[in-house]
Structure 1
Amino acid sequence: MLGLICFLRVTLAFLTILAASESVRTTILEPVRATGEEVGLVFIPGAYIKAEKYRKTARAIQEATELRVWVALTGEYSYNLVNAKEMRQAIETSISELKKAGMTSEHYVGVGHGWGGFYLQKNAKDSKLKALVLMGSTISRTTSLRDFPIPVLTLAAELDGVTRITRIAVEYEKLTHNTTSFFKRLYRTPVIYIEGANHAQFASGELRPKLKSADLEANVTEVQTHREIGKYLNAFLTVTFSSDDSQIDEALDQLSDAFLRSVKKFQPLLDVRNLDTDGEESMWTILAQEYFAQEYGDRVAVSNDILENPWFFGREPTISFNDDDMIIGTTALIHSEAKSNGIKLKTDMESPLEIDMKLVSKEAIWKALVGENDTSLKSEPNTCKSLNHLALILALCVSSEEARERYLSQGRPIILENDAMRGANILWAPTSLQMWEDKAGLHVRSMAMVTSKHHFCKVMSPYRALEWINVDSLRVYTLLG
């Protein structure tokens, strides 16, 4: 009986979508220029956003370019959420309506915001679209920008709490990978961010409560954001479609300048991410061991292996010698959330949940290097909490001056709690780093195990601290999170 009810519900929902697909509407905005090469923009809205909310964005684009830009605003999707079937119909209808209104070129460009952008990039190759603009959205993780069949502009907002800046950094990395064709990709698939803007400002007005609670407060006005959107779309559309060499040269310069500015934002994020795991070793674990060595650091060389269980559970850190130098072998276990390649209303965090480290204790280093009787250089050992503090300091140093100021003046802080001690590996291994959020901030408590030889720590990733500083600390806290 339950199976029949479930079947009927699914069938009813499917039939509702089929019937509702007839209700998708297209509004045509005619160009503001009387002359110029024609381009048609087809807007696919974000979650729960009506078509009219993009009218100001569209007008800013039309006014920013010498191209003759037509616009089709699509809306009234089922449940105010874009789906593949309705979107394909909306694109076809928009192209037909643009032709009826007087557009004569075939230069059609899909402009997708958030949820709409995720669907748009999945269906673009089977449409008549010649280029894409993704606003607060990305192509899928498993798709290379280099291999995407049509040009793509990925336009990010620095304070986007829905599609976070660290997710856009992944797309920037795709752009810079393989330098042999870098400049061609820079102009064909640019990744650019708008300073101080948020997710809502790609449209106009406020988001629905669920998305509004995820988004961050913008530091610039809606008008300023729309002006920036117009500037970057003009450059991208001009490079892609214009035949005016002087306009193309100017647009190429704008894209180059935007890229150089974006490097300063995205590359530090990726550099900190790569501390967690870079190939087969965790540089963060190596730095942690060197930090624990303190005054003996110049006599210690550290290596690391990233392992999975059960191998991590059974491995202990090692000490060996090469002449007078101590060689320490450490291990790390990286706990990462599975990253979604599908469509979500809110993107995942990019950073690991925690990093488990098996380190040599300060006491073991001291005994191996100077012996039991020499206490002249022996200092107090560090704690796992001190590694969390080091991760926080590193994240603050790497963040931009503006991001640090926002965090210190507006954000909820990271609160470092004292270590929770465990007496044996079998008790330490199954416990997790404790991280919980409340109105005061993000609390972090490490799980630690200390012996005369070993110091085991479950600690916060520097990248997790960086994401908190730049994104999550700026959200208004609610009991529902």
Structure 2
Amino acid sequence: MKLLYCSLLGLSAVLMGMALKVQILPPLRKTDTEAALIITPGAFIKGDAYEPLGVFVGMYGMSHPTQLKGVLLYASYLTRKHKLHAYPVPVMTLSGDLDGLTRITRIVDTFEELENDVKNNANATFRTPVIVMPGVNHGQFASGTMPPNVAKHDLKPDVTENNAHEQISNHTSDFILANLPDPNPYFKQAMASLSVTYQNTLTIIQPLLDIKRLDDNSNHTSVWTSIAQKIIAGNSLDKYVKAYDTEVSEVYIGEKNPDEYLTEDGVTVLTYSYLRQPMNPEDVSEAPQTPEEIIAKMKSSQAIADLLGNVTASGNLTCKEVNQVAFAYVLANASTAAKIRFEQRGLPITFYPDNPITFEEDWIRSKLKLNYSEVGLYVTSYSHVTNVKNQEDGMSGMHFCKLLSPYRAMEWIYIDSLKTNGTIDTTQA
């Protein structure tokens, strides 16, 4: 008889409490083996001792595959160095979309991995499912008094504890039944349920994936920087402008500068960008998971107008306005549930005027200012704008911006804006 190891609040732990009670569950068929259900009345995990244990479950499954039938990761995930398709036993990743510690923006990455696996092997849907439950938070994977860190950072759930536990139980049952070594009477039903759950999770995650892929994609292009170039051009010029962006590394962004040339129907602008991701070597999901900024190098509206020769620039649009458009865009493209939550209880974003920087070297070293506070998020961009004329170093007509990543704006809408208990993580990630 082998046990199916699972995780509580994203972990498996040595529980402290009353004596264990063991109940043997009868097999579904005479040829099956029985299973053991171990119950610990009054069990609890002391303080924040649970935090590192979710990682240990994943590691244990890697090192002891012959001892396990599968692994359940509740409000947890395999760290990035462990891939779903290479995991030696079936593993289910189960979380809620209102989890303030295991952020949905972290689970998006794992689901994206599953999505790619399914293209090559449809059975990945059942062997390594990644499930996001609507309305469920982190603490609802347990009950009772939450550890201080959970109480501090978790979000308000939309469903009751009983409803959350029922969802968790149903998904757990489906996963176990779909991965028993021998066919059982409920196998097809479990497989069908997991297929539906995959589509339901995709529906929840798709808006986040779409925004993420604007700038984090296999084409190595920042779609948002291309859009930003048209915004900077202004209403009188944007219809003449086609912008194409190339993402480069942090090493080369200082060396690359945008270019423009005339075409039969207008101006083509070649922009450059660098997507600065947060430093997170330990793959911790409590802090923001989305890009810290987009370093965008564009041409100014005056430079475009001068190249066209027969139109006038409509004004001096700023990085601030680009950031405002980014926020409006992601709010319009968020899920209905996310919009309602944000409108009902979300904290606002305030956009401050740009901080202009004279020298490009200083601008490169600057960083988009994201000030998380108890009353909202304050965003300040740094700009570097040069005149069209009197530039002898090839720096004529530049408009450089440290931009708010649309994905970071969406993460604010989905997660951080809902931390309305005065405990928003103020770490600038």
Q: Is the contact between residue 45 and residue 116 of structure 1 (CA under 8 Å) also seen in structure 2?
A: no
Match of 1:328 in 2: 269
2:38 aligns to what SS in structure 1? strand
**Aligned partners of 1:306, 1:390: CA distance in 2, in Å?**
21
Are the structure 2 counterparts of residues 299 and 425 from structure 1 closer, same or farther at C-alpha, using a change threshold of 3 Å? same
Deviation at 1:77, TM superposition (A): 7.7
Are the structure 2 counterparts of residues 206 and 473 from structure 1 closer, same or farther at C-alpha, using a change threshold of 3 Å? farther
Counterpart amino acid of 1:237?
I
1:451 corresponds, among 386, 408, 414, to 386
Q: Deviations over 1:125-175 (max 9, x none)?
A: 333111011010001112221111100111011111111011111111111
Structure 2 counterparts to residues 280-359 of structure 1, below 5 A: 280-293=220-233, 294-341=235-282, 344=284, 346-359=285-298
2:84 aligns to what SS in structure 1? coil
Match of 2:390 in 1: none
Counterpart amino acid of 1:221?
T
1:370 equivalent to 2:314? Answer no
**Aligned partners of 1:278, 1:430: CA distance in 2, in Å?**
25
**Aligned partners of 1:115, 1:201: CA distance in 2, in Å?**
18
Deviation at 1:468, TM superposition (A): 0.8
**Aligned partners of 1:208, 1:244: CA distance in 2, in Å?**
41
Deviation at 1:291, TM superposition (A): 2.3
**Aligned partners of 1:480, 1:323: CA distance in 2, in Å?**
51
Identical-residue share of aligned pairs (%): 28
Structure 2 counterparts to residues 41-440 of structure 1, below 5 A: 41-46=4-9, 51=15, 70-72=36-38, 81=49, 115-127=52-64, 128-241=67-180, 243=182, 246-279=185-218, 280-293=220-233, 294-341=235-282, 344=284, 346-371=285-310, 374-375=311-312, 378-440=313-375
Are the structure 2 counterparts of residues 262 and 44 from structure 1 closer, same or farther at C-alpha, using a change threshold of 3 Å? closer
Deviation at 1:296, TM superposition (A): 3.0
**Aligned partners of 2:251, 2:86: CA distance in 1, in Å?**
38
**Aligned partners of 1:441, 1:148: CA distance in 2, in Å?**
40
Are the structure 2 counterparts of residues 180 and 158 from structure 1 closer, same or farther at C-alpha, using a change threshold of 3 Å? closer
Match of 1:477 in 2: 422
Deviation at 1:338, TM superposition (A): 2.2
Q: Is the contact between residue 50 and residue 80 of structure 1 (CA under 8 Å) also seen in structure 2?
A: no
Which stretch shows the higher mean deviation, 122-131 or 419-428?
Answer: 419-428
Deviation at 1:185, TM superposition (A): 0.3
1:461 equivalent to 2:415? Answer no
Q: Is the contact between residue 200 and residue 206 of structure 1 (CA under 8 Å) also seen in structure 2?
A: no
Q: Deviations over 1:30-83 (max 9, x none)?
A: xxxxxxxx8844454448998489x9xx99xx9xx999763335878898736x
CA root-mean-square deviation: 3.0
**Aligned partners of 1:479, 1:210: CA distance in 2, in Å?**
12
Counterpart amino acid of 1:477?
G
Tell me the number of residue pairs that the alignment of Structure 1 and Structure 2 aligns.
401
Unaligned runs of 5+ in 2: 388-396
**Aligned partners of 2:398, 2:314: CA distance in 1, in Å?**
17
TM-score (norm 1): 0.76
Deviation at 1:189, TM superposition (A): 0.6
**Aligned partners of 2:207, 2:365: CA distance in 1, in Å?**
33
**Aligned partners of 2:316, 2:324: CA distance in 1, in Å?**
15
**Aligned partners of 1:51, 1:418: CA distance in 2, in Å?**
53
Which stretch shows the higher mean deviation, 115-124 or 178-187?
Answer: 178-187
1:382 aligns to what SS in structure 2? coil
Unaligned runs of 5+ in 1: 1-37, 83-113
**Aligned partners of 2:216, 2:195: CA distance in 1, in Å?**
30
Deviation at 1:205, TM superposition (A): 1.8
Are the structure 2 counterparts of residues 137 and 309 from structure 1 closer, same or farther at C-alpha, using a change threshold of 3 Å? closer
1:477 aligns to what SS in structure 2? coil
Are the structure 2 counterparts of residues 222 and 69 from structure 1 closer, same or farther at C-alpha, using a change threshold of 3 Å? farther
2:270 aligns to what SS in structure 1? strand
TM-score (norm 2): 0.85
Deviation at 1:381, TM superposition (A): 3.0
Match of 2:376 in 1: 441
Counterpart amino acid of 2:279?
A
Q: Is the contact between residue 261 and residue 267 of structure 2 (CA under 8 Å) also seen in structure 1?
A: yes
Are the structure 2 counterparts of residues 140 and 310 from structure 1 closer, same or farther at C-alpha, using a change threshold of 3 Å? closer
**Aligned partners of 1:310, 1:239: CA distance in 2, in Å?**
48
Deviation at 1:178, TM superposition (A): 4.4
Question: Which one has a bigger Cα radius of gyration?
Answer: 1
Higher percent of residues as helix: 1
Deviation at 1:457, TM superposition (A): 0.7
Match of 2:391 in 1: none
Are the structure 2 counterparts of residues 80 and 397 from structure 1 closer, same or farther at C-alpha, using a change threshold of 3 Å? closer
Deviation at 1:233, TM superposition (A): 0.9
Q: Deviations over 1:285-328 (max 9, x none)?
A: 11111222334334322222223345322332111233444221
Counterpart amino acid of 2:258?
P
1:402 aligns to what SS in structure 2? helix
2:353 aligns to what SS in structure 1? coil
Q: Deviations over 1:244-282 (max 9, x none)?
A: 554111111111111111111122212211212323221
**Aligned partners of 1:479, 1:182: CA distance in 2, in Å?**
40
**Aligned partners of 1:335, 1:367: CA distance in 2, in Å?**
32
Match of 1:98 in 2: none
1:241 aligns to what SS in structure 2? coil
1:161 aligns to what SS in structure 2? coil
Match of 2:394 in 1: none
Are the structure 2 counterparts of residues 179 and 222 from structure 1 closer, same or farther at C-alpha, using a change threshold of 3 Å? closer
